[in-house]
């Protein structure tokens, strides 16, 4: 990293299948509207339980994107 400047944005990804998929869904969706996404940091992982089973995953992320 030379003299780049970054901005942070907080997003939440979700998936019925896995934490990994929730992260990938969030990054893919954010990358469609935010340019220069270069890194992410997980902040919180939570989920929904239905009938004693994990039904859904949610992951809160901070994404870093380079400011032009």
Architecture of domain 6-66: 2-Layer Sandwich (3.30)
Confidence (pLDDT) at 68: 87
CA–chain centroid gap for 24, Å, is: 7
Q: Which residues of the chain have pLDDT under 50?
A: none
List CB contacts of 67: < 8 A, sequence separation 6 or more: 4, 5, 6, 7, 36
Confidence (pLDDT) at 1: 52
User: For residue range 42-54, what is the model confidence (pLDDT) as tens digits?
Assistant: 999 999 999 999 9
Which residue in this structure is represented by tokens 């990054």? 27
Please report, for the chain, the start and end positions of each structural domain, with discontinuous segments joined by +. 6-66
Which residue in this structure is represented by tokens 């919180």? 44
Distance (Å, rounded) from C-alpha 52 to C-alpha 60?
Answer: 23
């Amino acid at each position: 990293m030379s003299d780049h400047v970054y901005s942070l944005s907080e997003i939440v990804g979700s998936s019925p299948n896995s934490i990994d998929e929730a992260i990938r869904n969030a990054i893919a969706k954010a990358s469609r509207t935010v340019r220069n996404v270069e890194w992410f940091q997980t902040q919180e992982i939570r989920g929904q339980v239905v009938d004693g089973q994990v039904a859904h995953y949610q992951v809160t992320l901070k994404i870093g994107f380079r400011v032009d």
